[in-house]
Structure 1
């Protein structure tokens, strides 16, 4: 994988926000079918028994026992039984967002994978189902912690050669813009430069970007710079002047914007992190 693409994918994963909607295990009935739905959630199916048919966008599958299926949010889903030998499956629905975008629309992954260690995968789902049904006050944290582990385990079994940035036209454009911002965050990045990358005029580019991200390109660049500042404050001993150069902001402006985002100064933020270690 191209090193710049790898860094961008790692950045998406670092900023992904996962939330569980439901987790269950069941034997599907003869009524298990729907066609051409475009849900706002991702679905993971771990097939344990039976046969069935799944279509994701234009690709058709007949997943077998021992395989796991990822049905990304925003894609076109169809499912159906094919005979009396219906699926028994572990499954969950969840959202995975990077800002306002669906993680699995930014990253292209295989929809169906063989699971090398089926008992390990099944244990993940059992723990997730238990956490989903728990009434403990810490259950929401437990659900998301297990969900993160489950998704990470799914990603771990994806062959590197099958991981790529999205091929969807709008997502390709955004990936191009995001990658440029990541690589030039210490520079004076302009809207005109970003628009030129995808051959849009600046005014149209601003409308396009805001329709996808619910913020302007300038607001997004500032957000990226503040997140990078937080990371450098947490993991290095760099001075504010050095951090400012790395994220492309003058110190006085960095301090003012940082406080708007976090309600504390960079120094207060670093001291709080140090005191919690």
Structure 2
């Protein structure tokens, strides 16, 4: 994988926000069929028994026992039984957002995978289902922690050659812009430069970007710089002057904007992190 693409994908994963909607295990009925749905959630199916038919966008599959299926949010889904031997499956619905975008629209991954360690995958789903059913006051944290482990395990079994940035035209344009910002975060990046990357008029580019991200390009650049500042404060002993140079912000402006985002100064943020170690 290209090193710049790898860095961009790692950045998406670092900023992904996962939230569980539902987790269950069941054997589907003969009436299990839905066509041309475009849900706002992602679905993971871990097939344990039976047979069925699944279509994701224009690709058709017949997943078999021991395989896991990822159905990304925003894609067109159709599912159906194909005989009397219906699926028994562990499954969950969840959202995975990077800012306002769906993670699996930014990253292209295989929809169906063989699971090398079926017992471990089943264990993760059972833990997730137990946490979903739990009424403990800490259950929401437990659900998301297990969901993170489950999604990470799915990603771990994806062959590197099958991981790529999205081929959807709008996502490709955004990936180009995100990658440029990532590589030039310490430079004075202008809207005109970003618009030129995808051959858009600057005014049209601002409208396009805001329609996808719910923020302007300038607001997004500032957000990326603040997130990088937080990472450097947590993981290094660099001075604010050096951090400012690395993220392309003067120290006085960095401190002011950082406090707007976090309600604390960079020094207070670093002290809090150190006290919690």
Query: What displacement does 1:190 show?
Result: 0.3
Q: What is the rounded CA distance, in whole Å, between the counterparts of 2:39 and 2:270 in structure 1?
A: 41
Aligned pairs, number: 277
Q: What is the rounded CA distance, in whole Å, between the counterparts of 2:258 and 2:221 in structure 1?
A: 13
Q: What is the rounded CA distance, in whole Å, between the counterparts of 1:89 and 1:161 in structure 2?
A: 28
Q: TM-score, normalised by structure 2?
A: 0.99
SS at match of 2:55: strand
Q: What is the rounded CA distance, in whole Å, between the counterparts of 1:272 and 1:132 in structure 2?
A: 32
- Give CA deviations for 1:186-213 in whole Å, capped at 9, x if unaligned: 0000000000000000000000000000
Q: What is the rounded CA distance, in whole Å, between the counterparts of 2:91 and 2:197 in structure 1?
A: 40
SS at match of 1:70: strand
Query: What displacement does 1:71 show?
Result: 0.1
Query: What displacement does 1:274 show?
Result: 1.1
Q: What is the rounded CA distance, in whole Å, between the counterparts of 2:209 and 2:234 in structure 1?
A: 30
CA RMSD of aligned residues (A): 0.4
Query: What displacement does 1:41 show?
Result: 0.2
SS at match of 1:137: coil
Query: What displacement does 1:181 show?
Result: 0.2
Q: What is the rounded CA distance, in whole Å, between the counterparts of 2:72 and 2:139 in structure 1?
A: 25
Q: What is the rounded CA distance, in whole Å, between the counterparts of 2:48 and 2:231 in structure 1?
A: 42
Q: What is the rounded CA distance, in whole Å, between the counterparts of 1:101 and 1:176 in structure 2?
A: 15
Q: What is the rounded CA distance, in whole Å, between the counterparts of 2:276 and 2:42 in structure 1?
A: 35
Gaps of 5+ in 2: none
Query: What displacement does 1:81 show?
Result: 0.4
Q: What is the rounded CA distance, in whole Å, between the counterparts of 2:268 and 2:68 in structure 1?
A: 45
Q: What is the rounded CA distance, in whole Å, between the counterparts of 1:23 and 1:274 in structure 2?
A: 36
Gaps of 5+ in 1: none
Query: What displacement does 1:130 show?
Result: 0.4
- Give CA deviations for 1:202-242 in whole Å, capped at 9, x if unaligned: 00000000000000000000000000001111111111110
- Give CA deviations for 1:59-113 in whole Å, capped at 9, x if unaligned: 0000000000000000000000011110000000000000000000000000000
SS at match of 1:63: coil
- Give CA deviations for 1:19-76 in whole Å, capped at 9, x if unaligned: 0000000000011001000000000000000010000000000000000000000000
Query: What displacement does 1:272 show?
Result: 1.1
Q: Extract structure 1 runs of 4+ deviating beyond 4 A.
A: none
Query: What displacement does 1:149 show?
Result: 0.2
Query: What displacement does 1:148 show?
Result: 0.2
